[in-house]
Amino acid sequence: MLFNSIDFAIFLPIVFTLYWFVTNKNLKSQNFLIVVASYVFYGWWDWRFLSLIVFSTFIDYSVGLKLKTENNQTRRKALLWISILVNLGFLGFFKYYNFFLDNFITAFSFVGTEIKANFLNIILPVGISFYTFQTLSYTIDVYKRKLEPTKDFIAFSAFVSFFPQLVAGPIERATNLLPQFYRKRVFDYSKAVNGMRQILWGLFKKIVIADNCAEYANLIFNNSTDYSGSTLVLGAVFFTFQIYGDFSGYSDIAIGTSRLFGFDLMQNFNFPYFSRDIAEFWRRWHISLSTWFRDYLYIPLGGSRGGTWMKVRNTFIIFIVSGFWHGANWTFIIWGALNAIYFLPLLLTKNNRSHIEIIAKGKLLPTFREITFMLITFSLSVLAWIFFRAENIGHAIQYIHDMLSGLKYQWGYVQTINLIHGKIGYIFPLILLLFILGEWLGRESKYAIENISLKWGRLFRYALYYLIIIALIWFGGEEQTFIYFQF
């Protein structure tokens, strides 16, 4: 079920009403309702894959209980590996089987050996990468004795399948989300209003910004050989805002929806395109995944401790694995490696934590130096996103070559202007600029309109809400599936 669908617009009020007016007297009933609603939400897409979630839930719940009573370190480690192998086994089969088979065959063909193998027509279960990592964090934390295992199977099932963040995150830690299922929830009006406000902003990001950008990015990327260098730059910039609007919009809707039910999820995006270097960008982009890899992979590998070689090795591992997490394609791996190359100079010169605070905090405008750093970081991100969006590595390299070499031709700029004038128009670029301005003004909040609207009078505040709703109706792009559903 998509957040931006009629189905969800009907589903959410029904669950909300049952949750607060029918099951509100009993915590177990509320948690059971969340489990049922979450399974309906997921099964709406394909009910057959519910069995994976149920099996994964049962395995990790059982492993958690056994870890509590088992003191023998060898057996504890064996239990942890059962959880890891089962969860990553599912993920590996559904997501990477054909990729590894294809590369295995290609590798042998280089030495003159032809291997015949059958590829499987595998459907990737929506959200498998997200809930796999979420449930793994539970087992690992219990193994490390950072978390007490739960005996409440319903609460644990609700934690694994919680529908607002089930298919595209944020990837919650058990230490944050699971205890919230133990506590009685009391309806908080201001919290619910805040949640509705964040949902509205998330819908605007997705329907107006991302879906419109997708139309133009797809046009340019799918016909890249027909376009000039400046038009290809425009296509890459459109994709840069498409993926931000799409994914951060989803996170906003997920966090806002959770708030309606009395839950607090972690912030997943913190205005990453206002970053002054790549290290800051990765502290602000997909925060739940970045911190997951930091805590469960980077630090166990040694982190930034040790010699230069170890730092370089760990940095490349973390970024390449992160790229591979996104999909079974070499383009994602190159995208990850490129970000590692961006990041390394900062790490080796110990400048990776130079920019911790939000840019120009407490000020209206940034300094010239900050603008320069911000533009450089944004440009590097745009270049890396080309690999993320391209069909294959050859397409990405050709796209970048045509883009850079084509910038010297004057006719190319005329083509870009004609495309804007004839196809894109001037209203959407204006909306995009207003969106960037809104994000800038709200950058010290958890989402852009969280506080700026509260500073205004009631009349102006509601005028802003109605303007956003009008924009959703009049300027919404053609409906696109959320990009991160494929991961």
CA dist 309 and 301 (Å) reads: 12
pLDDT digits (tens, 9 = 90+) for 223-270: 999 999 999 999 999 999 999 999 999 999 999 999 999 999 999 999
Q: Is residue 100's pLDDT more than 90?
A: no
pLDDT of 307 reads 83
CA dist 336 and 323 (Å) reads: 4
412: DSSP letter: H
CA dihedral 405, 406, 409, 410 (to 10 degrees): -140
Average pLDDT across the chain, whole number: 91
pLDDT digits (tens, 9 = 90+) for 104-113: 777 777 777 7
Single out the residue of 440, 458, 457 nearest to residue 449, CA to CA. 440
pLDDT digits (tens, 9 = 90+) for 190-201: 999 999 999 999
Helix or strand (DSSP H, E) at 65: helix 50-69
CA dist 216 and 422 (Å) reads: 12
Q: Tell me what percent of the residues of the chain surpass a pLDDT of 90.
A: 72
How many CB atoms are closer than 10 A to CB 195? 23
Q: Is residue 401's pLDDT more than 90?
A: yes
CA dist 362 and 366 (Å) reads: 10
- Spell out the alpha helix ranges (H) of 92-188: 97-109, 128-143, 153-161, 174-177
pLDDT digits (tens, 9 = 90+) for 419-441: 999 999 999 999 999 999 999 99
What's the half-sphere exposure (Cβ side, CA atoms, 13 Å) at 95?
A: 22
17: which 2 tokens? Answer: 């009403």
Q: Is residue 369's pLDDT more than 90?
A: yes
Q: Is residue 355's pLDDT more than 70?
A: yes
CA dist 387 and 373 (Å) reads: 22
pLDDT digits (tens, 9 = 90+) for 266-314: 999 999 999 999 999 999 999 999 999 999 999 988 877 778 888 889 9
Q: Are 192 and 259 a contacting pair, CB within 8 Å?
A: yes
Q: Is residue 98's pLDDT more than 90?
A: no
Q: Are 242 and 214 a contacting pair, CB within 8 Å?
A: yes
pLDDT digits (tens, 9 = 90+) for 202-223: 999 999 999 999 999 999 999 9
pLDDT of 162 reads 95
Lowest mean pLDDT among 165-169, 196-200, 400-404, 468-472: 165-169
Q: Among the ranges 118-122, 164-168, 278-282, 361-365, which has the highest mean pLDDT value?
A: 278-282
Annotated catalytic residue, options 326, 355, 395, 421: 326
206: which 2 tokens? Answer: 């997705």
Q: Which pLDDT band, with edges at 50, 70 and 90, does 458 fall under? A: confident
Single out the residue of 45, 1, 390, 34 nearest to residue 178, CA to CA. 34
Q: Calculate Rg over the CA atoms of the chain.
A: 23
Q: Which pLDDT band, with edges at 50, 70 and 90, does 486 fall under? A: low
Query: If 0-12 CB within 10 Å is exposed, 13-18 middle and 19+ buried, where does residue 326 land?
Result: buried
Q: Tell me what percent of the residues of the chain surpass a pLDDT of 70.
A: 97
Q: Which pLDDT band, with edges at 50, 70 and 90, does 454 fall under? A: low
Single out the residue of 332, 410, 325 nearest to residue 136, CA to CA. 325
401 is catalytic: no
What number is the average pLDDT over the span 158-170? 90
pLDDT of 453 reads 59
What number is the average pLDDT over the span 141-166? 94
Q: Which residues contact 437 (CB under 8 A, 6 or more apart)?
A: none
What's this model's pTM, rounded to 2 decimal places?
0.92
Single out the residue of 61, 59, 54, 53 nearest to residue 91, CA to CA. 53
